[in-house]
Structure 1
Amino acid sequence: MSSNPSWTDAQVPVDPVAVPPPLREVVARWGAPADAAELPAAWVNAAGGTTFRLEDRGVFCKWAPAGVGLDLAAEADRSRWAVRWLAVPEVLEHGTCPEGEWLVTRGLPGRSAVAEDWRARPEAAVPALARGLRRLHDTLPVAQCPFDWSVPHRLARAVGAVEGLLEPPPVDRLVVCHGDACAPNTLLAEGSGEAVAHVDLGALGVADRWADLAVATLSLGWNYGPGWEGTYLAAYGVDPDPVRTAYYRALWEVGP
Structure 2
Amino acid sequence: MSIPAAGAPVPARVRELAAGATLEPVWRNELGGVTFRAEGRDGIRFIKHGPKNLETTSAGEAERLSWAREYTPVPRVIEAGADETHEWLVTVALPGASAVAPRWVRDPATAVRAIGRGLRAFHDRMPVAQCPFDWRVSARTAAAEVRGIRVPDDLRVPPAEERLVVCHGDACAPNTLIADDGSWAGHVDLGALGVGDLWADLAVAAMSTVWNYGPGWEEAVVDAYGVPMDAERMTYYQRLWNAT
Q: TM-score, normalised by structure 1?
A: 0.89
Q: Structure 1 residues 141, 68: closer, same or farther in 2, change over 3 A?
A: closer
For structure 1, the 5+ residue unaligned runs are: 1-9, 34-38
Contact 2:206 2:221 in 1 (8 A): yes
Q: 2: CA distance between counterparts of 1:214 and 1:121?
A: 21
Q: 118, 126, 129: which is aligned to 1:140?
A: 126
Q: How does 1:158-169 map to 2 (within 5 A)?
A: 158=144, 159-169=149-159
Q: Deviations over 1:83-136 (max 9, x none)?
A: 011110100001111131110000010000001110111111111110000000
Q: How does 1:17-36 map to 2 (within 5 A)?
A: 17-28=8-19, 31-32=20-21
RMSD between superposed Cα atoms in Å: 1.5
Partner of 1:82: 68
Give the total of aligned pairs.
Answer: 238
Q: 2: CA distance between counterparts of 1:153 and 1:70?
A: 13
| 1:52 lines up with 2:36 in the alignment | yes
**Matched residue SS, 1:22:** helix
- Displacement, 1:41? 1.1
Moved over 4 A (4+): 67-70
Once structures 1 and 2 are overlaid, which stretch shifts more, 233-242 or 152-161?
Answer: 152-161
**Matched residue SS, 1:40:** strand
Contact 1:64 1:72 in 2 (8 A): no
Contact 2:2 2:29 in 1 (8 A): yes
Contact 1:50 1:63 in 2 (8 A): yes
Q: 163, 174, 178: which is aligned to 1:188?
A: 178
Q: 2: CA distance between counterparts of 1:46 and 1:127?
A: 26
Q: 2: CA distance between counterparts of 1:253 and 1:14?
A: 26
- Displacement, 1:23? 3.3
Contact 2:99 2:178 in 1 (8 A): yes
| 1:43 lines up with 2:27 in the alignment | yes
How high is the sequence identity, in percent, across the aligned residues?
52
Q: TM-score, normalised by structure 2?
A: 0.93
Partner of 1:36: none
Q: Deviations over 1:179-231 (max 9, x none)?
A: 000100000001x1111010000000100000001101000101111111121
- Displacement, 1:22? 3.5
For structure 2, the 5+ residue unaligned runs are: none
Q: 2: CA distance between counterparts of 1:68 and 1:50?
A: 17
**Matched residue SS, 1:170:** coil
Q: 216, 228, 241: which is aligned to 2:230?
A: 241
Q: 2: CA distance between counterparts of 1:244 and 1:69?
A: 23
Q: How does 1:209-224 map to 2 (within 5 A)?
A: 209-224=198-213
- Displacement, 1:71? 1.5
Q: How does 1:96-245 map to 2 (within 5 A)?
A: 96-158=82-144, 159-190=149-180, 192-245=181-234
Contact 1:214 1:249 in 2 (8 A): yes
Q: 2: CA distance between counterparts of 1:151 and 1:69?
A: 15
- Displacement, 1:162? 2.5
Q: Structure 1 residues 66, 177: closer, same or farther in 2, change over 3 A?
A: closer
- Displacement, 1:69? 4.5
